[in-house]
Amino acid sequence: MSEIIITCDSTADLPLELRQKYNINVIPLGVTLGETTYLDGVNITPDEIYAHHDKTGELPKTTAANVGDFIDFFTPFVEAGKTVIHFPISSEMSSTYNNALLAASDLENVHIIDSKNLSSGIGLVVVAAAEMAQNGASAEEIIAKAEELVKCSDASFVIDNLEYLHKGGRCSTVAMLGANLLKLKPCIDVTNGKMDVSKKYRGKYGEVLKQYVSERLSDLDAIDNTRIFVTHAGCADEVVNAVYEQVKEIGFFKEIVVNRAGCTISSHCGADTLGILFIRKSPKA
């Protein structure tokens, strides 16, 4: 058994089978609906969030794990003599990173890596680190490789409906109305730890996704073929399957992981959101 423990927070959106396969431990973020606060992936699901919104028109509020949460999370590993390497959501998006850093400063052998990403953009790096740990790499080797991979993790999503972004204050009313009238579907890219609109597609969502996948995978020579995530926030099965088949047909990736985004990500983007996420061979421009 490796003496190195790989951990992340729930925004990494790792499916249970990968967490179990690679012994990855996850600390949940908080999700508040009305007067009740839940733990992402523990006692609340994205579909329950959507049902609450449909009934009340109210979006959930997401909260970072605090310093005490992290101390409680890390301490059993430290007391067992393990070295912890932890990957939180981007420091640009949440105080989670800083809270983890503060907790680690009071503990031995806990290392915090700023993922500069979200969702499966984090998950890709976490799984790579966990594979290295299982193969006997040292903490120093894993940290050095992970910091390289953080720069190469390519995360993007196409959003069909801007309502959640709008209600969450991330999209102005004018922009939302304009996008709805023109049937625009924004592509959100994560660059240097921040989210930004990289392109606006027009048309039916299924056709837009087909174009999006084709464009993102147009230069396979620049992409690591180990693994790709098809991550969505609750899209219809036929939409997800069409993207999976398109990626599979290319015949490039060794592993294709179809994955459902967790509560934190779903709270901000809404159900009809899908992205393909992978590792580039060199840092993103």
Residue 76 lies in a domain: yes
Q: Which of 146, 27, 142 is nearest to 76 (CA)?
A: 27
Residue 285 lies in a domain: no
pLDDT (mean) for 153-174: 68
Query: Residue 120 to residues 29, 48, 67, 173: CA-CA distances in angstroms?
Result: 16, 21, 24, 29
268 and 159, same structural domain?
yes
Which band of pLDDT confidence, cut at 50, 70 and 90, is reported for residue 278? very high
Give every CB contact of residue 276 below 8 A, 6+ residues apart in sequence. Answer: 156, 212, 213, 216, 217, 228, 229, 230, 231, 243, 247
pTM: 0.93
203 and 243, same structural domain?
yes
CATH of the domain at 80: 3.40.50.10170
- Sheet holding 36-39: strands in order across? 36-39, 30-33, 61-63
100 and 174, same structural domain?
no
pLDDT (mean) for 45-68: 89
User: pLDDT of 165-217, one tens digit each?
Assistant: 655 554 444 354 444 544 678 898 999 898 888 888 988 999 999 999 999 99
pLDDT of residue 183: 66
- How many domains does the structure of the chain reveal? 2
pLDDT of residue 184: 79
DSSP codes, 39-67 = EBTTTB-HHHHHHHHHHH-PPPEEE---H
Token pair listed for 120: 């499966």
Token pair listed for 123: 């998950």
Token pair listed for 193: 């730890």
User: pLDDT of 214-273, one tens digit each?
Assistant: 999 999 999 999 999 999 999 999 999 999 999 999 999 999 999 999 998 888 888 899
Is the CB of residue 259 less than 8 Å from the CB of residue 231? yes
257 and 161, same structural domain?
yes
Name the domain boundary from 93, 127, 150: 150
Between 195 and 22, the more confident residue is 22
Is the CB of residue 270 less than 8 Å from the CB of residue 165? yes
pLDDT of residue 172: 44
187 and 65, same structural domain?
no
178 and 55, same structural domain?
no
Domain limits for position 116: 4-150
pLDDT of residue 163: 63
130 and 80, same structural domain?
yes
Q: Letter for the amino acid at 31?
A: V
Compute the radius of gyration of the chain from its Cα atoms. Answer: 19
